[in-house]
Structure 1
Amino acid sequence: MTAAPGPPRSAAVTVLHTTVSDPLARPLLDELTYEYSTRYEKPVDLSLEYPAAEFAPPRGAFLLLLEDGSPVAGGAYRRHDAHTAELKRIWTHSAHRRRGLARRVLEALEQDAAQRGYRRLYLTTGPRQPEAKGLYLAAGYRPLFDLSAAPETIGPLPFEKHLENPRP
């Protein structure tokens, strides 16, 4: 018995620091919008949630992982408070999942936030996103909720992580 071939892989995955309005980001954000709307059974419009400027330097960042010039994953952060960045929009294109790309996005965002002087990261994920919950736990994020409770009874699931090497 042979395994089905996975998504094509390339050694050339690069990080692009860009903006929410970059046309390269559109396919990922459209798919993310569709996924949220489907999982939560209500329309979602991410463009209305936060102004794009919140994800721009010096207080925020928006990045894409590109493989052979095409976006395969992305994520962002914005200022939550003077010492905390809030992670948002962490997403992997459905054709490229199970390759560790979301973890690479997290690592790039963590490094960028630390370089900008943030000492703590905060995020929430939805109760119908067990993959995200698993990712954050595996990446060392501390749940700020009771892990034994049913996620639907909590609402958004908050996490935090203290950065080890923030800029002085």
Structure 2
Amino acid sequence: MSLMKLVRTDSNNPAFRDLTRKLDAELHARYGRQQAQYDRHNVVDLVKTVIGYIDEMPIACGCLKLIASQTVELKRMYVDQKHRKKGYAVSLLQALEAWCIELGINTMILETGKGQPEAIGLYQKCGFAITENFGPYIGNTNSVCMQKQLTSSTTTEIEK
């Protein structure tokens, strides 16, 4: 695994925009027209964003959307296909969790689709638990919502 450089930025970063275009293309290929109902929830502006670079090329991203004073929603988590299964998603999640703790945030929530068992598995390995659907996902049977309580001792560790 090459060392991934993690950079804190915001959602206006051009590399973030490029990576999320790839993410959207994958989601539309996987879910088809059904994905359109989620697109409006994926608009993120000026939120705290982390981008992962290998050899100056952006390969991963994720961002935090403030939901309440101590709760963020993990959004737009993505690792480029040719860099998957190398631990980069876990490293990215660690960086996002550490940023939350620095900001005094103690709860991270997320939504993913039932059609993404690899994402569900990753989040469960990283300490997230399935919870009731929240916000715009209430009543949506294709959504899987998850939650994790954050403390400096519960940030994600790489499992071998």
**TM (normalized to structure 2)?**
0.81
Q: Does 1:10 align with 2:10?
A: no
- The structure 2 residue matched to 1:50, chosen from 43, 52, 56, is 43
* Number of matched pairs: 144
Gaps of 5+ in 2: 133-139, 154-160
- The structure 2 residue matched to 1:130, chosen from 99, 114, 117, is 117
Cα pair 2:51 2:61 within 8 Å, conserved: yes
Q: Does 1:103 align with 2:90?
A: yes
Q: Could you tell me how far apart the structure 1 residues matched to 2:55 and 2:121 are?
A: 28
Q: CA deviation at 1:154?
A: 2.9
92 and 160 in structure 1: CA distance in 2 versus 1, 3 angstrom threshold? same
Greater than 3 Å deviation, 4+ residue runs: 43-49
Deviations 1:66-107 (A, max 9, x none): 111111111001111111111011100011111011111111
Deviations 1:122-160 (A, max 9, x none): 111111111110000000111115xxxxxxx83210111
Q: CA deviation at 1:49?
A: 3.6
SS at match of 2:82: helix
SS at match of 1:154: coil
- The structure 1 residue matched to 2:66, chosen from 79, 84, 100, is 79
Give the aligned partner of residue 121 of structure 1.
108
RMSD: 2.1
Q: Could you tell me how far apart the structure 2 residues matched to 1:67 and 1:47 are?
A: 30
Q: Could you tell me how far apart the structure 2 residues matched to 1:77 and 1:51 are?
A: 9
Give the aligned partner of residue 76 of structure 2.
89
26 and 163 in structure 1: CA distance in 2 versus 1, 3 angstrom threshold? same
Q: Could you tell me how far apart the structure 1 residues matched to 2:41 and 2:142 are?
A: 20
Q: Could you tell me how far apart the structure 2 residues matched to 1:86 and 1:49 are?
A: 11
Q: Could you tell me how far apart the structure 2 residues matched to 1:68 and 1:140 are?
A: 30
Larger Rg: 1
Gaps of 5+ in 1: 1-8, 56-60, 146-152
Task: State, as a whole percentage, how many aligned pairs show the same letter.
Answer: 28
